[in-house]
Chains A and B, each alone.
Chain A
Amino acid sequence: NAGVTQTPKFQVLKTGQSMTLQCAQDMNHEYMSWYRQDPGMGLRLIHYSVGAGITDQGEVPNGYNVSRSTTEDFPLRLLSAAPSQTSVYFCASKRTDSYNEQFFGPGTRLTVL
C-alpha cells in the first residue's frame, strides 16, 4: 500500500492564482481531512469528509474548497491564493468505525508571494 499520497511536494504561487492540492489514499478509509501546519500553531483542520459526497468545514476553512467524489481522492482547492495561505498542508485519512489511527501524507509546502 502507498498509504496517503500528496502532490505536489512544493509549490510557489503568486497572489490571486488558483491551484489544487491533490490527496489520495489506497486504504479504503471513509474519513479524510486536510490540515495546515504553521509554526507554533500545531495542525489546524481546514476541511474534512466522512465519505464520498460528504464534506464539512473545520477550524480554518476560509479560502479553501474541497470535494469528495470518490473514496480514494480528496483534493483541496485554493481559488485565489493569499500570502496568509503560505503553509505546509497535510492530508490525512482513517477509518470511522472506531478509535483508529489517522494516517498522514508527506505534506505540500506552499509559498504564496
Chain B
Amino acid sequence: QQQVKQSPQSLIVQKGGISIINCAYENTAFDYFPWYQQFPGKGPALLIAIRPDVSEKKEGRFTISFNKSAKQFSLHIMDSQPGDSATYFCAASRGGRRALTFGSGTRLQVQP
C-alpha cells in the first residue's frame, strides 16, 4: 500500500521557470510533511518541511503548499536553476518518533 503518491516521475523545466511536484497522502494521522533533495551519488537532504496547521511555507525560491482537506501537498520551485537538477522526494510521518514514509521521487532536470 503506497501511502504517499508522488507525481510526476520526471520533469524538465527551462531555466527561470517554475517546477511543481505534487504529492497525495492517505493516512490522516500524518502531521509532518518534509521534502528532501537528492543529488546523484549523495544521500537525501532536507529541503523544506511543513506541519498541517499552515497552508503554505516559503523558504527562498522553495514553497510548500498544503491542502489538508484534499490530503495533498506540493513543492514549487520558483526561478528554477540548473543547480536545482536533482531528485526530489516528498515524505510524511506521524509525530517526531515515527518513521518517514517517502514518495517514489521526481527527477527534475532544469535546462539552461
Contact = CB atoms under 8 A, between A and B. Distances in A.
Given A42-B104, A99-B51, A104 B96 contact: no
B26 to A, nearest CB: 14
Interface in B1-37: 6, 9, 32, 34, 36
Q: Is the interface of B mostly helix, strand, loop or mixed?
A: loop
Nearest to A33: B99
B6 to A, nearest CB: 7
A43 interface: yes
Interface residues on B, range: 20 to 34
A102 B89 contact: no
Nearest to B3: A59
Contact of B42 (A48, A97, A106): A106
Contacts, number: 57
Interface string A55-72: 000100000000000000
B96 A96 contact: yes
Interface string B62-93: 00000000000000000000000000010000
Nearest to A95: B96
A98 B96 contact: yes
A74 interface: no
Interface residues of A, number: 28
A90 B100 CA distance: 13
Contacts of A96: 96-97
Contacts of A42: 6, 89, 102-105
Interface of B: 6, 9, 32, 34, 36, 41-46, 49, 51, 89, 95-97, 99-105
